[in-house]
Amino acid sequence: MKRALLVGIDEYDSFRRLRGCCGDVRALEPLLQWNEDDEPNFSCVSLTSDRELITRDDLLANLQRLLAPAADVALLYFAGHGYPEQNDVVLTTMDGTEKTPGVPLSQVLALVQQCSVPEVVILLDCCFSGRAGSVPQLGSASATLRSGVSIITAARGDQTAAETAGRGVFATHLEHALKGGAADLLGRVTLAGLYAYLTEMFGPWDQRPTFKANIDRLHELRQIRPDLSRKKLRQLAEIFPESTYHLPLDPSYEPTEQPHDDRHEAEFSLLQAARAVKLVEPVGEDHLYWAAINSKACRLTRLGEHYWTLARQGKL
């Protein structure tokens, strides 16, 4: 079971109004709720300030529901003001004041530390959210997260998070990443892929996302249609007897040439699909077509060798 709590707060009693947080939540919710093939993903609860009052007590109560037993994965996305406080950042709620802005991240992490949910993902889309990397845990001076916890923040601890055209910049890139921009060859959007995508989208003068995690495997946030199916990857491994093998080609692989060879043409179709995703490359020619016409060869790229190994080890 996978749960997600998405919080977007634009309206505040005592702080400057924001513009994009509610829209960010509405854009992200369906992407987390459903995989691209319409299979269910996270069970989502969304709180937005244009629909309801979100107080400090409300946020805490929903955090406790998110982290209650029975879930395998819990995800928190918070978009709103982040209030800097020593080595902490406070997730500011609608009723927040300078004296009591909202829920400190240290309190959120204390709840995470005590919960039994194996995997917890926190996405902070707020100013100064990078302070998440230095929040003391449960009275300890260490900032080590418990096993299974990951935090991605929109900005460093000394930076603000930008909005543009009525949306948060971080959330817009996050949306595109979940739609497939951060997916690997198998269609998996993992935390590592997500962070790699986000860091590339921000320049050296922009806000810089941060990533802190204590995990022994990659959390999968969403599944999209793969560039090449696992079945085809296994078939590719059967075509190449060794990972470094140079597969001889000839005109019988090309469907426009005579005589036709159905087996070769089927293999060539797979080789062209693998070429499109950088798993196969021609040897001595720029294109597979000419490698076949001129009886040259093709081989696996380094990435192709990696997936060949996975297929041969029964991991695909």
Are residues 192 and 277 part of one domain?
no
Domain termination site, one of 168, 196, 223 = 223
Question: Can you give the pTM of this predicted structure?
Answer: 0.86
Q: How far is CA 134 from the centre of its chain?
A: 23
Report the 10 Å Cβ neighbour count for 121. Answer: 23
Which of 14-28, 34-48, 127-141 has the highest average model confidence (pLDDT)?
34-48
The pLDDT, as a whole number, for residue 126 is: 84
Domain termination site, one of 181, 200, 223 = 223
Are residues 247 and 141 part of one domain?
no
Total structural domains within the chain? 2
The pLDDT, as a whole number, for residue 187 is: 96
Are residues 202 and 249 part of one domain?
no
Are residues 188 and 64 part of one domain?
yes
Least confident of 96-110, 137-151, 295-309: 137-151
pLDDT higher for 206 or 274? 274
Residue 3 has pLDDT above 70, yes or no: yes
Residue 141 has pLDDT above 70, yes or no: no
| Three-state DSSP state, 252 | helix
Q: Report the mean per-residue pLDDT for the chain.
A: 89
Predicted confidence (pLDDT) per residue in 202-254, tens digit? 766 667 788 888 998 888 899 999 989 999 999 999 999 999 999 999 999 99
Are residues 186 and 234 part of one domain?
no
Are residues 94 and 11 part of one domain?
yes
Residue 12: domain span? 2-223
The pLDDT, as a whole number, for residue 167 is: 66
Q: Give phi and psi for 174, each to the nearest 5.
A: -60, -40
Here the CATH number for the domain that contains residue 286 is 1.10.10
Are residues 147 and 280 part of one domain?
no
Q: Are the C-beta atoms of residues 230 and 295 closer than 8 Å to each other?
A: no
Are residues 169 and 236 part of one domain?
no
Are residues 276 and 145 part of one domain?
no
Report the 10 Å Cβ neighbour count for 305. Answer: 16
Helix axes 169-176, 191-201, angle to 10 degrees: 130
Residue 306 has pLDDT above 90, yes or no: yes
Domain termination site, one of 189, 206, 223 = 223
Which of 122-131, 192-201, 204-213 has the highest average model confidence (pLDDT)?
192-201
Mean pLDDT of 33-41: 97
Here the CATH number for the domain that contains residue 38 is 3.40.50.1460
Alpha-carbon span 268 to 275, nearest angstrom: 10
Task: Find where tokens 């406070």 sit.
Answer: 90
pLDDT higher for 3 or 161? 3
Are residues 114 and 48 part of one domain?
yes
In the chain, the largest separation of any two C-alpha atoms, in whole Å, equals 82
pLDDT band at 142 (very low <50, low <70, confident <90, very high): very low
